[in-house]
Structures are given as structure tokens and as C-alpha cells.
Amino acid sequence: MRESDQEIDAKSQKQRKLPNNMDEEMNMIENLPDAMLLHILSFLPAKDVLKTSILSKRWRHLWMSVSNLYFEEWRPDKFVMFMNSAERAMMCRDFPRIEKFSLSSHMLNSACINALISNALSFKVQDFSLRLVYVGVPISLPHHLFSCPTLTVLNLEEVTQFPCTACLPNLKKVRLSCCLLPHQQSLLHFFSGCPKLQKLILNRCFWRDANLGFISAPMPEPVDITQLPSTTCLPDLKELELSFCLLPYGQSMVQFFGDCPKLQKLTLKECHWGLAKCLYISTPMLESVVICDATSSSGCKVVISGSNIKSFSYHGDLRTTYCLCSSSIVDDAYIHVNSKGKIEREGREKEVAHRVHKLIMKCSNVKHLGLSPDTLEALAYAEELDLPVFQRLTRLELKRKSVDLSCRALNRLLQKLPHLDCLDFRMGVFLSKKHKNFALDPLPPCILTQLKIIKIHTSSLTDEELHAVGILFRVSTVLEKVYISGSRLNKNKISMLARESKFEIISM
């Protein structure tokens, strides 16, 4: 027998005996308009949203109009109860649309899961996320998931079967994680049914034919992208991110990137190039390139070409050779070489130094340059390599770890920055006490004539840090401001620095 509204109100009042201040807060929530309450509920898991129906008469039906539904259950013994609750939530809805739908669970009953998915799609869902852990044989998802006209965002995880075609006319963002993708040409054919796709993220994905790329002859020279057939199937794609992906050999990858004429941002994280010896990436609208190298990647040569590249970022140990070819002027660049100890154990010092030098040479026109101390030390492996003069650079950012002011590569670099205006130590700067009479020799001209701002981010100002800071302060004749930030800064030390300085010190 169903409870009356009066019984529900009495029960809810009895259950919540709250202190006066909490009762006042509850009254404030009760006074909020329905639209604001629904907005708050749209961020909660569905099971918590359902619980609000017992709060009072007003809340009894409010949950039925929530625009977002997030279902999640990983306990196998709770699967049946979970599905019953999800089905009830779908059946009792009195709102014709679902903006966001998310389902995360074990695949214990494919019929129930597919029924729930089909039910959600009937509410003209716009943002659809699915994460299933299969128990047994993987199953096919409802075909109409890949032909839903209202979908704008699709997020799939651990899906192993895709249809050959798709018809998603309004889809703008796709994220596929831990998925087994169809072979390269089928995947391109699949995405040809997504004409408005603007952002594509592939994370830890594999192609079915990734291990079939065996070739008997050496890879040819990089293929000129203009010579490839015009088979554009991703005409509006602006952002592409590939993470932890095992990719087919070079020719098909050239074709893949060639299908993105409007691509603006390319991110490659921990990708393996398979058998490729040379990979040529060229899109006319490319503006930003972010690369995080796989430590076990092969010795593939990657050529990145574009007439509009403005930002370049690299993080890795340079097992792959990267060649940045841009006819435009790159404004921002960041280079971090990691695994210093491993590089030395493998005897790759000279190789890495030459590859770092080659990247830096290609970034000589940047306005903002970011480097790690390990990158500076990599340059020290080959001091015979001359650095370029950075005529446009006004800001140098040193991050990842604290910088040793006595590093010779740092002084070599500062000598090449005639217009440096801001020097930013993102993790601090130090100088060992054994360098009692240390001096920047020769003194970089930019410190005498250009450097106006120094930023130091540190947890606390140690004696070694104060030693380095003191030297910088004494030689920076045109310095105007110093920003010092940290979680455990000693105010007395900051005050002492301020008294001894002719410029403004700002503690953050």
C-alpha cells in the first residue's frame, strides 16, 4: 500500500531531528526554486537523487525531472537491485529529455544493460557515457547507439565491438578508452558518419590490425601529404588526443592525420609507433602540439610540419627523433627530458644532447620558453653545441624541480637571451654552500639591462635558496619586482630580503 503525502511528511520530520542552525539551513534549501534544486541534483549519482523523494511532499516527485542521470554499481551481488532501481528511475521520468546519461557497471546481464541503454536513448540524450567491465564474452551494444541524432558527446570505455558504420550527425566530442578498435580503414569509415566531430580522444586503444603491419622493405621517405588521395572524413575535427595507443605502421597513420584538415591541437601521450621508421604529420591549421613520449618507444623519426604552429610541448627521454618544421613563429615551447639516470646508464648522453639541441634550435623564435633542470643537464652532455640567440624571448620558465644556479648550461642559455624580462623558477633555485665565492661568469647581459621580474615558487626558503636568491638580487641592476610564493615561507626571512633590496618583494 502506497504512503499518503501526509505520512511521508510526518515520517521525514520524525527522521530528521536537527539542531536549530541545521534546521535553518534546510529551510533555506526548501526555499530555493525548483530549477535551482534540479540543477543541484543534476550533479549527484542517481541513487542519491532517488533518496530525496522521502524528504517531503515537495521532493516526492522533483527527482523525476532531473536532467542528468549517473548510474554506477560495481558490486556483483547488488547488480539486480541496481538494475531495478535504474529501471524505476527511467520509467518514472516526467521530463522528455536527458542531457547527460552515464552507466558504469559489470556486464552481468547484457539484455538488461542494452534495455537500459535503449531506454536512455529514447529520451533524446545528448551526453552519453558508458563504462562496462565484461564478465564472460563481450556483447554488441545496441546499434541505434551509433545512430542517435541527438548525441553531441560520446564516452565509451572497454568496448570491443563497433559497427562498420555510424550516423551521428550532431556528435562533436568522442572519448574511447581501453577499446579494441576496428582496422584503420574501417575506423575512418566509421568516423565519416560523424561530420561535426570536433574533439577525438583515444586512450589506451588498440587497432585490430596493429600487429599485421609487417613489411619486408625499408620504410620510404616521408610521404608528402599533398600526394595522398582526398578522402577527408573528419572535416571539422579540431582536437585529437592519442594516449597509450599502439598504432599501425607509418603509411596508414599519415593517412589518418591527413584526414583532419582543420586540426588545431594534437596531443600524443605514451604512444607506440609499431614498425614505423618515419611518421609525417602535417595539417594546415595545426596550432598546438603536445608530446609525452613512451619510454619504450622505437627509434621512429617523427616530422611535424605546419604553417600555423604556435605552441609546442615535449616530455620524454628522446628515444624518438622529433623534427619540428613550422613556417610560422612558435610563441610558446616547453621541453622536459626525463630519466637522466637511465640515459647515463644506457650511454645515450650525446644522442640525447643532440636531439635536445635540435628541438631548441627549432624553437629559437619563441616568446616564452619552459625547460626543466634535466633538460639543461642534457645540454651539458655536449657543450660544443652552440645555442641560438633567442631574439624574441621575454620569459624563461624553469620547472619540474629546483634549479642549481651553478649549472653551466643555465649560464650558457642566459647569455643567449638578450631581451629576457621575466625569469620564473617554478620549483625554486638553490646554490650549495660549497660555492661561497660563486659568481655568474660571464655575467649575462640580460641580467644587467633587461631582467625586471623574478618569480620563485618554493615550499620554504632554505639557506641554500637564500644564497642563490642573494646572488641574483645583487647582480640584477634593473630588477623591479620579485614574487616569492610557498606554503611554509618564513616571514622574517622575507622581511629581511625586503629591507636589503631596492625593489619590491611580493610574498604570495
> Per the structure block, which three cell numbers stand in for 384?
660544443
Alpha helix stretches (DSSP H) within 42-124:
46-51, 79-91, 110-121
* Pairing verdict, β 239-243 and 265-269: parallel
CB 403 within 8 A of CB 425: yes
Domain boundaries in the chain?
40-121+136-150
Mean pLDDT by 10 residues, the chain (508 residues): 50 50 65 85 84 81 85 83 83 84 83 88 94 72 92 91 88 90 73 90 74 31 36 79 71 60 90 74 88 70 85 89 79 88 85 90 92 90 89 94 91 95 94 83 92 90 86 90 83 73 76
Which helix H or strand E contains 9, and what residues bound it? helix 5-15
Q: Residue written as cell 632554505?
A: 462
Predicted pLDDT of residue 9: 52
Pairing of strands 429-430, 239-243: unpaired
8 Å CB contact between 131 and 175: no
pLDDT for residue 412: 92
Q: Parallel, antiparallel, or unpaired for β 422-425 and 453-457?
A: parallel
What are the contacts of 338-343 at 24+ separation with CB within 8 A? 338/372, 338/374, 339/295, 340/374, 340/377, 340/378, 342/317, 343/317, 343/378
Alpha-carbon distance 429 to 440, whole Å? 14
CA 485 to chain centre: 25
The whole-angstrom distance between residue 48's C-alpha and the CA centroid of its chain comes to 30
Residue type, 104: S
**Would you say 344 and 378 are in contact if contact means Cβ atoms under 8 Å apart?**
no
Which pTM was predicted?
A: 0.80
Strand-pair partners of 370: 334, 397
